[in-house]
Amino acid sequence: MAALIGACRGGVPSLWYDEAATLAVAQRDPAGILRTLGASDAVHGLYYLGMHLWISVFGASEWSVRLPSAIACGVAAAGVVVAGRLLADTPTGIYAGLVCAVLPRMTWAAVEARSYAATAAVAVWTVVVWWCAVRARREGRPSRWWWVGYAALLTFGGVLFVYSLLLGIALVAALLMLPEYRRALPGCLAASAAAAVALTPFLVIMLRQAGQVAWIPAPDARMVRMIGEYQYFLGAPLAAIAAAALVVVVLVRDRRAVRAPAPVIALAWMLVPTIVLVAVSLLLRPIYLDRYPTFTAPAAALLIGWAIAEVARTLRLRAVAAGLLATLVLLSVPGYAAAREPGAKPSAMDISEVANYLADRVAPGDCALYARVPWLPTSLRVVTEARPHTLGGLVDPDPPLSAAAHGWLWDQGASADVGVHNLSGCSTVWLLTDAQRDAPETVEHTSGEVWHLPVHHLADDDLARAVEAAGFHPTDSEQFRRTLVVRYARS
């Protein structure tokens, strides 16, 4: 059910920069992918390789490339049910699984062609295996292979997304808060250390590529909302308030519950990684974004599901649980709906619409020029790089240096700047440039980034003037949310 909920309208939102990066890298040959990982984006390497195989079978449409994320959300919800049953009881597992299916951060991750949903799925099953090891050790049963499985899953999660390694620290903290299970602490520490050692070469590469996250803004007052709302309840602030109130009331009413495995582990799983990321961001360098701790979202679902089960158990009314779940669903609908609008992605990017527009109109031999715009860290060449099989035939009069050959994320070419050369062989030129704006616009992102978009008119665009000076005149244009596409023909 969670996978179906996640996949619904998954093809509607336009691709944005991060998802375009997934498509651009994943559609290279394996050698090109490995060169890229060695030079610039190893943190997403395992995901890129997996998506390379997926796209080779199922294609690169928006719905297709997001479907693995929706499936991962289903795997995560299933894991939450199992975790809830193991840590508490069956009602807790069922309620927590239902919460996971509708939690705004999870339904957002389901329509994001990045590794975030997968990190949540791996994390929850890592916790399941970890708890089996802990329980076996407490009961005096053999636990060695459970610890091996836990170390393997923790390592796998760290390779999938390096921040997931913080889960190991969270689970050690959880054991320290559960005195009756501390006999498992040596095994937990040994398994976590083994995972850290296994990941050492990978971590060294990450440190060398630390410049990849240099753009993350420094923490400010907005971080409070990022943690309190965006991290788990993106687009649904009322759901965040209701869930927090429910959990606090249950914990305050029965303080003995704080020592129960389910809430202790869920709280450690949620709080420890967040505290570490925030502390590093405050003391060393910014590394926190609201989407990075998605691997902790199942913990939020587990905690809320446990609280619902506790209320229903106290009042001895299952209808109360149904009412609380229904309320959470209703309050989460705005976030769910907002994540599935065409302009749902950051800055309302319109890469998909532009690519589809061009695919229906370009002819063999048409040329294309790509401007740099203030809402992308690269040029609008990203549109064709995300769609190499449909738009790869566009001729670039300033051939770019190949990203795949050099291990870069994006191609580099002169037409991303100002110069226009070699148009003599072009009869039609497509210009992709910034949308026209009569007034400056400020765009705030949930990541804390603030983009200031200046006034822009085609008449003042350097590339447009250069194309017209080369003997072309505009014949057609289409303005999207962020992009202006102009077709030029030779005069």
Q: What is the DSSP string of 23-84?
A: HHHHTS-HHHHHHHIIIIIGGGHHHHHHHHHHHHHH---HHHHHHHHHHHHHHHHHHHHHHH
Q: Nearest to residue 119, comparing CAs of 270, 236, 294, 271?
A: 294
Q: Are 331 and 393 members of one domain?
A: no
332 and 366 both lie in a single domain: no
Asked if 102 and 188 sit in the same domain, the reply is: yes
- pLDDT tens, residue by residue, 393-432: 899 887 777 777 777 887 776 554 444 667 888 999 999 9
CA angle 410, 207, 266 (to 5 degrees): 100
Last residue of a domain, one of 338, 360, 388: 338
Structure tokens given for 346: 């950051």
Domain range for 221 is 2-338
Counted domains in the chain: 2
At 264, the amino acid letter reads V
Tell me, yes or no, whether 103 and 152 share the same domain.
yes
User: HSE-up of 212 (CA within 13 Å, CB side)?
Assistant: 19
Instruction: State the pLDDT at residue 44.
Output: 93
pLDDT lower than 50: segments of the chain: 416-419
Indicate if 350 and 313 belong to the same structural domain: no
What's residue 357's pLDDT?
97
The neighbour count for residue 177, using CB atoms within 10 Å, is: 15
Tell me how far apart the alpha carbons of residues 480 and 358 are, in angstroms, rounded to a whole number. 12
Do 391 and 283 have their domain in common? no
The H or E element containing residue 203 is helix 200-208
User: Do 249 and 287 fall within a single domain?
Assistant: yes
Strand bridging mode 450-453 / 441-444: antiparallel
Please tell me whether residues 138 and 87 are part of one structural domain. Answer: yes
Q: 337 CB contacts (<8 Å, ≥6 apart)?
A: none
Closest residue by Cα to residue 41 from 30, 50, 31, 33: 33
Q: Sign of torsion, CA 202 207 209 210?
A: positive
Residues 257 and 363 in one domain: no
CA dihedral 323, 324, 326, 332 (to 10 degrees): 160
Same domain? 284 vs 211: yes
SS3 22: helix
Tell me what pLDDT residue 417 has: 45
Six-digit token pair at 394? 């566009």
Query: Which of 338, 364, 394 finishes a domain?
Result: 338
Give residue-wise pLDDT tens across range 352-390: 999 999 999 999 999 999 999 999 988 999 999 999 989
| Amino acid code (one letter) for 11 | G
**pLDDT at position 316:** 87
Same domain, 309 and 352: no
Q: What is the 3-state secondary structure (H, E, C) of 372-411?
A: ECCCCCCECCHHHHHCHHHHCCCECCCCCECHHHHCCCCC
* CB 70 within 8 Å of CB 3: yes
Which of 292, 310, 338 terminates a domain? The answer is: 338
Residues 111, 82, single domain; the answer is yes
